[in-house]
Amino acid sequence: MDALLIALADPARWRLVGLLAERPRSVGVLAHLAGARQPQTTKHLQTLERAGVVASERTGQRRVYALRPAPLRDLAAELVRLADFTDQAGGLPVTYDRHRENVTGERLAADAAGWADGRAFRFVRSTRADPELVWRHLHEPALLSEWWTPDDLRVSELVFEARPGGRIVQEYRDAEDVDGSDPVVGRAEGVVDDVRPGERLAYRLSPLLPDGGIAFTAHVDLDLRPLGAGTGTELDVHYRITDSTVDSADFVAGVEIGFGQSLDKLTALLGTHPHEAVAVAVPGDTATTDNSNNHSHSHDSGRGPDRTNTGSAGDDARSTK
């Protein structure tokens, strides 16, 4: 396949393939039709023959080349397979495109400091795990690092002091950057506001801009409610933005997609519960997401794009928790 791609990548050889698709032709005729010299045409045809896409036969004083369609069909099938894989619902390339659309809208909306203040999101997730186990996954660094980024990122540094006034540091890299050779994707710092073991956790977390400044501040409240008869836990998350800067548009664009996917990773780790949580919108510029149908109900004041919680996009904007 590599040899075929290399052979077809040259425009002159691609022109010869088109001519041979019409009918077999001799070197001299092909050179004339392609507007090229015969020695050059011969070299191109030899490359195509080594790649298996043409075959030649000497007839009298002429060498005639004919196209072999099978390799082209194999290539076409592989291209279709790659395109279909990319188009799979919820696939990362699809989510990446969705995130890019969000970024475009938010950049247009970010016209002054405070442009996204009051933007709010609600996420509801249910799991089979009991509140104590869910609680541990919300604050113990070893467990928190297993889910606190979207699929295409990984936690590279994490500090979470689960006490009022405790420090939070979250640094993340590309999931495939296992040796740290790629630049850090993003970093966020914050402080814990409220701790009620097994019941509630509240904190503030700010993603940092490349110059070290704060992009915005996220106020995150996580409430745990046991489901009936000890069958699991419902996690209700409220996420609100303040202190937004003009440069925060890329971060804000990925909040719902990225944080929603992180919570999906958490519920996958703990076991998804069949209980269907009801998503209730809260007043204001709010998007509410629910794992029972994985759709978003948006109440947007028109300052950004329609937001849908269907996956993740792979950059710093999607990882502020």
Judged against a pLDDT cut of 50, whether residue 258 lies above it is answered with yes
pLDDT of residue 61: 86
pLDDT of residue 272: 67
Tell whether pTM > 0.95: no
What is the SS3 assignment for 83?
Answer: helix
Judged against a pLDDT cut of 80, whether residue 201 lies above it is answered with yes
Do the beta carbons of residue 161 and residue 192 sit within 8 Å? yes
Query: What percentage of the chain exceeds 90 in pLDDT?
Result: 71
Q: What is the pLDDT of residues 99-114, one digit of tens each?
A: 889 999 999 999 999 9
Q: What is the pLDDT of residues 51-77, one digit of tens each?
A: 999 999 998 889 999 999 999 999 999
pLDDT of residue 215: 97
Name the band, by pLDDT with cuts 50, 70 and 90, for residue 151: confident
22-31 contact pairs (CB < 8 A, 24+): 24/64, 24/65, 24/66, 24/67, 25/64, 25/65, 26/62, 26/63, 26/64, 26/65, 27/62, 27/63, 27/65, 28/62, 30/65
Q: What is the pLDDT of residues 296-319, one digit of tens each?
A: 333 333 333 333 333 333 344 444
- Arithmetic mean of pLDDT, 81-85: 82
- Arithmetic mean of pLDDT, 231-249: 97
- According to DSSP, the β-strands at 217-226 and 295-299 are unpaired
pLDDT of residue 98: 80
Do the beta carbons of residue 162 and residue 194 sit within 8 Å? no
> Kind and range of the H or E element at 179?
none
Judged against a pLDDT cut of 90, whether residue 248 lies above it is answered with yes
Q: Could you say which DSSP state residue 139 is in? A: H
Q: What is the pLDDT of residues 259-275, one digit of tens each?
A: 999 999 999 999 865 54
- Arithmetic mean of pLDDT, 192-210: 97
181, 186, 187, 193: CA torsion to nearest 10:
-140
- According to DSSP, the β-strands at 62-67 and 295-299 are unpaired
Q: What is the pLDDT of residues 274-294, one digit of tens each?
A: 544 433 334 444 455 555 434
pLDDT of residue 5: 95
Q: What is the pLDDT of residues 4-46, one digit of tens each?
A: 999 999 999 999 999 999 999 999 999 999 999 999 999 999 9
